[in-house]
Structures are given as C-alpha cells and as structure tokens.
Structure 1
C-alpha cells in the first residue's frame, strides 16, 4: 500500500500551526497555575474525577476561548471554572441531605458578601481566594454586584436541580417530579457559564466590554442554555451512572433535544451579531465558547471516572 502524494504546507498553514502552538503554550501556563490551586486545596479535589486531564481540559478550554489574552489575565477565569467543577462535585455528588447543600451555599455566599473564610467549607475558602483576585481588578467596583448576583443564581439553580433529583417522587415516579424541558433550560444557571464569564470580563476589564455588559450578559445566558444541551447530549450515560438530570431524560424523543439545540444556537448568534461592532473581542469569545464546547464533547468529557 502506498500513501498519497505529499502536500507541502503553505506559509498560511505554517502560521496556523504556529498559532496553535502559541495557544497550547498558553494552556500549559494556565494548567500549571491550576495545579498549584489544586495542591493548596486538596480537600476539594480528592475524588477520582479530578484527574490531571480535567485540569488540563479546563486550561485548554480557557486558552482556546480567549487566546488573545496573556495567561496572567486568564488565570482568574480558569480558576473560576475549576471552582465550578468543585462546587458541582460537592453538591451534586457528595451532599447527602438538603441541609448539606444549604450549608455549602450559605458558607459560599457569606464569603462572597465579605465574611472571613477560616473554618468555613473548603469550597468557600477557594471562592474567597478568587474573590480577592477579582477585588484587585479595577472593574470590580462596577462588576461586583453583577458577579454576586450570578453566584446567587448559580446556587439557586443548583439547589433546584438537587431538589428535582432527590424528592421522593423522583425515586418512585420520575415523570411526576422531573421538570419539563423548558423548566430545565430555565434552570441552566447551574452550569455557571455566565458566572465564569462575569469573572472573565471583570478581570480583563476591557472598556468596550464594560460599556455593553448588559447585552453581553443576555447573550451569555443564551449561550449557557445552548451549552447545557451540548453537555447533556454528550454525557447522557455518565449522568445515568452518577444520578444526574439530563435533558434526554425529560423527553420521549431525543430529536426534540437536538432540534432545540439548533434553535438555541441560532438564537445565540442572533444576540451576538449586534455586539461584533461594539465589543468584538467578547463577541468572538462567546462564539468560540460555543464552538469549542461543541467540538470538545464530540470526542471527550471534562470529568474522569468515579
């Protein structure tokens, strides 16, 4: 068997490869920082799903989504996403009672409101570090109320999903306790995509972003709903194993979910398009967020195995 003819790389190809190499190096720098965070907070990251590949995937996702920023400006974005995974693990998998959930949420929200972290839940201690980083950003004075609101929205959505999963009706008759697909998508703040984006926009502090933050939040929430379905379509079997909710569990025909995803992504681009002239970096950031996540989940998943 012979191979096909060799096609030499063009100058444009070489530039593309060089750019890929730069983004990979950016991801490496972010990954090293995240490993330092994990080493300082080992009580949060002891479960098997927190394997090195998870940390690497988080760093890669941030580097690919916002490749024009230096690692120093992306560090808080990556740390926030790592924190979101820790919060998911603590509440979705480790919490056994509603009181467990409420205690974690109360500790984290107290820290976000300025209470000192010593002696509190380890998730709150890491959140306090991230809050200190954000507080050093010039834009934090303006962005803090919105960041705090998104944190509250995330935890409210997390508590709602936990309730859906753990009511007695859910154990005996899932169809009587489960939300509709619309209700489920309305609770997509548990994905915390908007929270991560608010941390990102706060820390990079681009003025055109701050000038259009209201529109960016609306577009980001639409992206969040789309990514909820991208995630669910790829992780159905894992969600069954872990006892998580998934959009595919809420409908009789999976094509309803794929059709809804198509509609949601079209809606995202309709909201992003008007932002391209006014805050082009952040419009591109949102588009890359959709594209990266869609491509990533075709091959792999962020979490390791139980």
Structure 2
C-alpha cells in the first residue's frame, strides 16, 4: 500500500491530466491541418493514432508549455512527416526530389508557394507564424539553415536508396548516422524555441542546436531499432542494413546518449529549460520507441 500523501498523489495525477488536455488540443489542431492539406497525409500511414502520438509526445516532452506554445512544435513535426513521405515514398527521380527541396527552401526564404503544392503551402503557414514572433528577425536565418540541412540529408538518403536499388554500394554505418539531420528533430526544436521566444542570442541557439544534433543521432538509432521490419518491407534504409547488429546499435545508442549529456551539462547554467527539454526529448523518445513507432501500418 502506498504511503505517499493523498495530496501529493492528487497533485501529480492532476498534472498528468493537464498534460493530456494539452495533448488533446494539439491533436485536434493536427486533425485540422490534415483536413486542410489532405494530399499530404494518406491514411495509412498517417492515421489518427499517429496524430495522437505526435501531440502526446510534445505535451509530455515540454509539460510546462500550453497548447498554444506547442502549436509550432506539433505543426513542424507534422510537416516533417509530410516531407518525409513525399521524398521517401512518392518521388521517383532525383530531379523531382531536388526540385521539391528547392521549392521548400524558396518558400522558407519568403517566396510564395505554388497553387498546386500543399507541401510548400503548409510550410508557408509555419513560416508566417514564425515571422510574427519577436526573435525571428535575428534567428530566422538559423531556422532556414537547419531546414536546408535537413532537406539535404533527405536528398542524400534518397540517393543512397536509389544506389541500393541499382546495386551500388551503400553508405557506411558512420556515414548514415552522420546524416541524422534527415530525421528532422533539430529543425523542429529550433522552430519551437523561436516560436516560444526561448532563446535570446544566435550563440545560445547555435549551442543548443549542436546538442540537439547529438540527441538526434540517438533518436535515429532507436527509431531504426523499432522500424527495421517496416523499413525492410518498404525499401527504406536502416542502420541494421549497414553491417551492424541490434546489440551493436544499442551500444552505439548508449554511447551517443552519454555524449549528449557531456554536451548538455555545460549549457544548463545559461539554458536550463532548453536543456531539460532536450533531455526529455531523449528520454521520452527512447521509451516510446521501446514499444512502437509513429507511422501507422502501410
């Protein structure tokens, strides 16, 4: 029988209820985005459970945030899903993939999206929301740089998959992990920090981004462990296809997580909330991928 005071139990349970309320509001906003841009989100794999899991993850990673404060994190995560699906599953030529990346980068720079392109229309919505925030004028170039980094990584992986299909050599495991920016987490994190006015200087954001890159590599590893069978069936790349077994990948994830802590510890004094956020990104995602992943059954 628990000896915890009843008041403490109530307080903790009430806080969990509040977080779930934030997640529910986020889920509804994501449903509205999917309804606004239906061409981007085929069901499957983007089903209701995926949207719920996405909104729940941001709510538990940043439990101090309101639903409004998490809107950009949710929407950028959803946009990454759409972009990933477009490049991984719908584009059939390098020329088309390169043109898609160029169109997205042009919109990020302020260009108008094409009338028939929901991917860049959704990105323009995110850009316009961020442009209205206090810090975007001084930090927006880092947001655009990270978007470019993420999309370049996606292009590189597209080429690797094409090479695999044609019998050309695959990347090494180290090369694959160094390309983890394609996972999209750091771009989402930078978007969230700008949207919530969480950083003051370029130097602060750049230091946090460096730590986020290290976290992103762990996410890439644990995601690959969770999605290997699906990736084999769908023709996607996975680090387990590149000469490592599950035990080696788990050890690499542990070692990389230790490296994350070494990068995060010195940042605690200047950016305590953002460091807590990155640690919760790491811990929550590792726990989540222990049992499932975000994509619905294709």
Q: Scaled by the length of structure 2, what TM-score is found?
A: 0.95
Residue 26 of structure 1: which of 22, 25, 29 is its match?
22
Aligned position for 2:182: 190
| Cα shift at 1:172 | 5.3
Aligned position for 1:277: 269
| Cα shift at 1:278 | 1.5
SS in structure 1 of the partner of residue 115 of structure 2: coil
| Cα shift at 1:103 | 2.3
Q: Verify the 8 A CA contact 1:107 1:121 in the aligned structure 2.
A: no
Task: Give the RMSD, CA atoms, in angstroms.
Answer: 1.6
Aligned position for 1:65: 61
Q: Verify: 1:106 aligned to 2:102, yes or no.
A: yes
Q: Verify the 8 A CA contact 2:199 2:205 in the aligned structure 1.
A: no
| Cα shift at 1:73 | 1.3
Supply the distance in 2 between the matched residues of 1:209 and 1:241 (Cα, whole angstroms).
45
Gaps in structure 1 of 5+ consecutive residues? 1-5
Residue 165 of structure 2: which of 171, 178, 190 is its match?
171
Aligned position for 1:304: 296
Q: Verify the 8 A CA contact 1:209 1:282 in the aligned structure 2.
A: no
Aligned position for 2:133: 137
| Cα shift at 1:13 | 2.6
- Kindly tell me the number of residue pairs found equivalent between the two proteins: 297
Cα-to-partner distance string for 1:162-211 (whole Å, 9 max, x where unaligned): 000012xx1354xx521111101111110011100110010001246766
| Cα shift at 1:69 | 1.4
Q: Scaled by the length of structure 1, what TM-score is found?
A: 0.93
Q: Verify: 1:52 aligned to 2:48, yes or no.
A: yes
Q: Verify the 8 A CA contact 1:26 1:70 in the aligned structure 2.
A: yes
Aligned position for 1:204: 196
Q: Verify the 8 A CA contact 1:201 1:209 in the aligned structure 2.
A: no
Gaps in structure 2 of 5+ consecutive residues? none
Supply the distance in 2 between the matched residues of 1:124 and 1:208 (Cα, whole angstroms).
28
Supply the distance in 2 between the matched residues of 1:211 and 1:20 (Cα, whole angstroms).
34
Q: Which moved more, 1:284-293 or 1:109-118?
A: 109-118
